[in-house]
Amino acid sequence: DFNSFVSRTNTCGELRSAHVGQEVTLYGWIQYQRQGLFLILRDFQGLTQIIIPQDEARSHVKKLLSNAPVESVVRVTGIVSPRPPGQENPKMPTGDIEVQAETAEILNSCKKLPFEIKDFTKKSEALRMQYRYLDLRSSQLQQNLRLRSQLVMRMRDYLCNLHGFVDVETPTLFKRTPGGAKEFLVPSREAGKFYSLPQSPQQFKQLLMIGGLDRYFQVARCYRDEGSRPDRQPEFTQIDIEMSFVDQAGIQRLIEGLLKYSWPEERDSITTPFPSMTYEEALADYGTDKPDTRFGMKIVDVSDFFQRSDVQFVQNALSYPCGTVKAICIPQGMRYLKNKDLESLKESAKSQFNQEIIPIICRPDGSLKSLLTKFLGEKQQSELIQVLNMQVDDVVMLAAGERKQVCSALGSLRLESADLLEAVGLVLRDPTAFHFLWVVDFPLFLPKEENPTELESAHHPFTAPHPSDINLLYSDPTKVRSQHYDLVLNGNEVGGGSIRIHSAEQQRFVLEKVLKEDSEVLSHLLEALEFGAPPHGGIALGLDRLISLIVDAPSIRDVIAFPKSFRGRDLMGNAPDYVTPEELEPYHIQVSWPLTEKEAKKN
């Protein structure tokens, strides 16, 4: 009941022909006013047309409503009437009626707006962020936030009421966690000691399992100091879950049921169980661990074909360890793409992956156009067309080199090619289709980018090794698969989790011997694991990303009430902000190089 506890009788979106003759009191914002004849009143639920009285007896009401600026907040009391024949508006749910105003009150007048409150009005994102409270009045943001609220409520119902999960709030002030993303530091009044804002409640949820809670759930606020990332937020929300006595299949069934139960009715339904592929399969077929399976253009391995050829530079690539030759086929590429597009794809692979790309074009007569053709006879060319399943006007992008580099480059070109084809009108990735996918059997460890001789956790240091690979953990950690699983939706990672290490001895070995981390930082967790820790596992769903995909928002900022800019700033409240030396003194902190007043204003 939207009208309980408040002074209005109805919202601006609920009046229909059945209300004709009733006296109603509406509250809302003036969206539009025309020549002192009528105005459109808006609230969170919709729009109602208000007829401004023209008779002398209510001239004060006419003057008040005619002079009120757009976006002023008003109260209107009047009688619901049918619209005159031919003046109905089928585009408005309230389009069959109007309200004849009898009394009105301006509750708050609005000054000149920095932009119009209309969904179709183009406005810079910086301006929207600066005046976020005005941007929130748009119907799209209202819909996004309400859908988010409804989805979270359904998730709570499924987890807590249907499956016995316990909603537990975990601390925000904690200590640094080794590995993973960079954490925000919070000074304390103890000299030299700092809290950290947790990048996830990972340790706490494991400790809750050790504490015997069995099933934990939380809508958790998380923090990562990742600097300037266009579509990331320094603070974000996870649907955080942990269970005792569960395996990977159990977590997957839980999440599939959770999403099916909470999925918005107005969106296309989703089918469970979700398909699954291994990390190696994803990399081989799509060049990424988060494949968008809404369209084809899979990577094809043509190493066997070129093994039998005389193309020297390809043979050189195949002679290296993990050498390979792979390709993607862009259907009808010559019909839709220009030469400059093909050049931009080649340049992209070169600049991002240091990978050379050789285009192969199938001409209308069935012959091939490529630098490779002078090394291939007619029979070999015909065989290559068959291997690649090429049709007339298809364009193949071929790459030779180290396997992971080749796959990553072609996976990126696959997505860039889809962007180019969609820019000319083709639809490859239906935004109303939802293709969920489990990616499993990740490596437990990966070489560090800055020092490939050292290892880091592919997921986090608490992830358990695959049962079949436990012996390899002690002999060759680089070959160990993990019990880590990611949930992917339309090429975006929307969830990740794992079965956890529940042995203190194994956890200490991973931290000290494999990752070379100081285990003292995690002494509390290691000690807890020695007190009868149950086998346990869990997952976290990225709520912001999930909602943005459901509503097809261009950015996760469009599903967060008060987001930060891509530089991590709050443009509305101007945070972060400077503090005085006096305010820093209790925390034993001094700013080493204070900015000049001019520099401070500039920043």
> Residue 189: which CATH number?
3.30.930.10
d(CA 440, CA 277): 6
Same domain, 333 and 412: yes
Asked if pLDDT for residue 598 goes beyond 80, the answer is no
Query: 119 in a domain, yes or no?
Result: no
d(CA 494, CA 394): 33
Query: 133 in a domain, yes or no?
Result: no
Distance in Å from the first CA to the final CA of the chain:
47
d(CA 380, CA 384): 6
The pTM for the full model equals: 0.93
Same domain, 261 and 310: no
Asked if pLDDT for residue 230 goes beyond 70, the answer is no
Residue of 544, 452, 460 whose CA lies nearest to 500: 460
Same domain, 491 and 526: yes
Query: 350 in a domain, yes or no?
Result: yes
3-state secondary structure of 29: strand
Domain's final residue, options 59, 88, 108: 108
Domain's final residue, options 63, 89, 108: 108
Average pLDDT over residues 538-543: 98
Q: Check: CB of residue 40 under 8 Å from CB of residue 4.
A: no
Q: Check: CB of residue 313 under 8 Å from CB of residue 398.
A: no
Look at residue 431 in the predicted model and tell me its pLDDT: 86
Put residue 393 in one of left, alpha, beta given phi > 0 → left and psi -120 to 50 → alpha: left
Look at residue 597 in the predicted model and tell me its pLDDT: 60
d(CA 113, CA 134): 9
* Strand ranges of the sheet holding 300-301, from the earlier edge strand across to the other edge: 300-301, 323-330, 395-402, 358-362, 368-369
Model pLDDT for residues 418-467, shown as the tens digit of each residue: 999 999 999 999 989 999 999 999 999 999 988 999 999 999 999 999 99
Same domain, 317 and 372: yes
Q: What is the CATH number of the domain that holds 61?
A: 2.40.50.140
Same domain, 405 and 457: no
Tokens representing residue 570 in the block: 């709050």
Same domain, 443 and 419: no
DSSP 203: H
Model pLDDT for residues 485-532, shown as the tens digit of each residue: 999 999 999 999 999 999 999 999 999 999 999 999 999 999 999 999
- Average of per-residue pLDDT values in the chain: 94
Same domain, 253 and 148: yes
Task: Count the neighbouring beta carbons within 10 Å of the beta carbon of residue 553.
Answer: 18
Query: 196 in a domain, yes or no?
Result: yes
3-state secondary structure of 549: helix
Same domain, 504 and 540: yes
d(CA 45, CA 12): 6
Asked if pLDDT for residue 600 goes beyond 60, the answer is no
Asked if pLDDT for residue 52 goes beyond 90, the answer is yes
Query: 399 in a domain, yes or no?
Result: yes
Domain's final residue, options 424, 457, 474: 424
Tokens representing residue 450 in the block: 């800055």
Q: What is the CATH number of the domain that holds 371?
A: 3.30.1360.30
Same domain, 73 and 43: yes
Query: 599 in a domain, yes or no?
Result: no
Same domain, 417 and 443: no
Cα-Cα-Cα-Cα dihedral sign, residues 229, 233, 239, 243: positive
Query: Which residue bears the tokens 């042995």?
Result: 503
Give the domain extent around 74. Answer: 17-108
Same domain, 344 and 266: no
Same domain, 519 and 449: yes
Query: 471 in a domain, yes or no?
Result: yes
Query: Which residue bears the tokens 């993303």?
Result: 181
Q: Check: CB of residue 483 under 8 Å from CB of residue 536.
A: no
Tokens representing residue 427 in the block: 């639809």
Domain total of the chain? 3
Query: 573 in a domain, yes or no?
Result: no
Average pLDDT over residues 568-596: 88
| Burial of residue 173 (number of CB atoms within 10 Å: 0-12, 13-18, 19+) | exposed
